[in-house]
A and B are shown apart, each in its own frame.
Chain A
């Protein structure tokens, strides 16, 4: 259990893998939808403030928690929390850091398989010439397994291929699989995105038909105007601030458990401060510079601002799998250009997805290896088996909201809970007593010193204050606001069609079973550790 841990092969490989972890479907789908729904330019101001006060500090905290645990032989959050806080409850709190990456991995792979499927459909020309109605029907048919033109088995086939590729990469190990994938996948993703951005931004003004039947001229510049012209009056709206903070959370993959798992392979003498900020900057480049210049300007150019807002209201999947292929069909150059654009768009989404999903498989595989003596192969096969078995439920019951429940409770609400716990443990328990002002600024601030072990750059001192007070406060506000605004209505299924209620309760039951199973495994693991005379931690 305490054998030599694997290490990253190179510094650039580590940062690309970390950035690959963070850059996901959310950068290209969720970000434009959130920005459009929350007023475009108005959204961008709180977004950047949240990046500085919440995103960057959490990135450092997660790297710090991960390395702290990794140096003590723990590659997953239960052990990491136990090393930060000796109370036996700590490891059970950390089970969320196993639960969330596993649960998100299971449904994320299914959505990732759509991107693979749509890459194939783009090559095959299946999307060419479809109307808006036809494009939406094509997506719905695929999701509902009712697509006579392609066969009910097609979604399963793409799902199994996606799972096989994901776990094949994890099986190859840290530097031979995950790092190599990041070194190949990330440049491809950036190149595809850059080509599409150039094509979108150089589009000529288009004539668009508005909802009232009249026509007007629109262009990509109108989309950029919408993205970057703030409406100062709307800035007073708390919901815009909440949405911006939430987006920063999701885009950086903080509060999940996967960044910590990657950081656990760092050595004490490895840099963490500069690498952390480089990772955050890589993600923001993908999101703001590329993601922000792609979907919104493209959709505004062909559908107008009002049309883009209406599409955003339909959600991220509508934007990615309906609106964008429609845009590609309208590009000058005919079927060949539509195919090339489709391949690049869905290809970049696939690479964004897979570099994230392989990171989500890491915490549970590490946990099994470190605590139960599993070989890498055995642990990867065990997690893959669970992922496939439960993932099939998502395919069968997608249309009744099975996946939406998981996406909300594990992929949204749970993240804030884990981030809150790790911030308190790393900043307040390992670090200074927050009520003692002098300790925060002291040279003995252990949290601050641990972040700077091996550091190639010193974090500006004012971040001591931000990390100790502002970041936790931000998290508490988010947790309370979401709890009040979203969690209760979601729990009570307000606005959900009655025919979905039973499936959604089953979906919650399966999640609770997974959580209970992981709690039990953690209990057994620590009993084994104690029996073998290792530290109770």
Chain B
């Protein structure tokens, strides 16, 4: 497989799988529904 194509493919997969794993890991660590887990509001830049 072409090296450029391989790097592009691995980057694309890393982005997609990275977001997937990060979001699910964070979601599964949340307390059960009903608990207040709202982070403090920000006030913009």
Interface size class of A (residues with CB under 8 A): 35 or more
A278-B23, A285-B16 are known contacts. Are A224 and B1 too (CB-CB below 8 A)?
yes
Chain B 1-35, CB within 8 Å of chain A: the 1/0 string?
Answer: 11011101100110111011001101110100110
Q: Using CB atoms and an 8 Å cutoff, list the residues of chain A in contact with chain B.
A: 10-12, 15, 41, 44, 48, 221, 224-225, 227-230, 267, 269-271, 274-275, 277-278, 280-282, 284-285, 288-289, 441-443, 445, 449, 452-458, 461, 464
How far is it, in angstroms, between the C-alpha of A192 and the C-alpha of B8 when the chains are bound?
Answer: 25
Q: Say yes or no: B8 contacts A229, CB within 8 Å.
A: yes
Residues of A within 8 A of B38 (CB): 269, 452-455
Measured between C-beta atoms, what is the minimum distance from A87 to chain B in Å?
Answer: 29
Q: Can you add 5 more A-B contacts, CB < 8 Å, to A284-B19, A455-B39?
A: A11-B33, A269-B36, A278-B27, A442-B44, A456-B39
Q: Say yes or no: B30 contacts A289, CB within 8 Å.
A: no
Residues of B within 8 A of A281 (CB): 16, 19-20, 23
Residues of B within 8 A of A271 (CB): 27, 30, 37
A228-B6, A270-B33 are known contacts. Are A44 and B27 too (CB-CB below 8 A)?
no
Residues of A within 8 A of B41 (CB): 443, 449, 452
Q: Say yes or no: B4 contacts A229, CB within 8 Å.
A: yes
How far is it, in angstroms, between the C-alpha of A57 and the C-alpha of B15 when the chains are bound?
Answer: 17
Q: Using CB atoms and an 8 Å cutoff, list the residues of chain B in contact with chain A.
A: 1-2, 4-6, 8-9, 12-13, 15-17, 19-20, 23-24, 26-28, 30, 33-34, 36-39, 41-45
* B32 to A, closest residue via Cβ: A11
A44-B8, A271-B27, A281-B23 are known contacts. Are A289 and B17 too (CB-CB below 8 A)?
yes
Measured between C-beta atoms, what is the minimum distance from A281 to chain B in Å?
Answer: 4
A281-B20, A282-B20 are known contacts. Are A456 and B26 too (CB-CB below 8 A)?
yes
At the interface, is chain B mostly helix, strand, loop or mixed? helix
Q: Say yes or no: B26 contacts A458, CB within 8 Å.
A: no
Residues of B within 8 A of A456 (CB): 26-27, 30, 37, 39
How far is it, in angstroms, between the C-alpha of A441 and the C-alpha of B16 when the chains are bound?
Answer: 29
Residues of A within 8 A of B34 (CB): 269
* A438 to B, closest residue via Cβ: B44
Q: Say yes or no: A443 contacts B16, CB within 8 Å.
A: no
Residues of B within 8 A of A461 (CB): 42, 44-45
How far is it, in angstroms, between the C-alpha of A274 and the C-alpha of B26 when the chains are bound?
Answer: 8
How far is it, in angstroms, between the C-alpha of A278 and the C-alpha of B20 when the chains are bound?
Answer: 6
Provide a sorted-by-A list of 20 A–B residue pairs whose CB atoms are within 8 angstroms.
A11-B30, A12-B28, A15-B27, A41-B8, A225-B1, A227-B9, A228-B5, A229-B5, A230-B8, A269-B33, A271-B27, A278-B27, A281-B20, A284-B19, A285-B16, A289-B13, A289-B17, A455-B39, A461-B44, A464-B44
How far is it, in angstroms, between the C-alpha of A456 and the C-alpha of B23 when the chains are bound?
Answer: 10
Residue from the list B4, B13, B15, B27 in contact with A274, Cβ < 8 A: B27
Measured between C-beta atoms, what is the minimum distance from A397 to chain B in Å?
Answer: 40
How far is it, in angstroms, between the C-alpha of A11 and the C-alpha of B33 when the chains are bound?
Answer: 8
Residues of A within 8 A of B27 (CB): 11-12, 15, 271, 274-275, 278, 456
Q: Say yes or no: B2 contacts A225, CB within 8 Å.
A: yes
Q: Say yes or no: B37 contacts A454, CB within 8 Å.
A: yes
Residues of B within 8 A of A442 (CB): 44
* B37 to A, closest residue via Cβ: A456
Q: Say yes or no: A274 contacts B23, CB within 8 Å.
A: yes
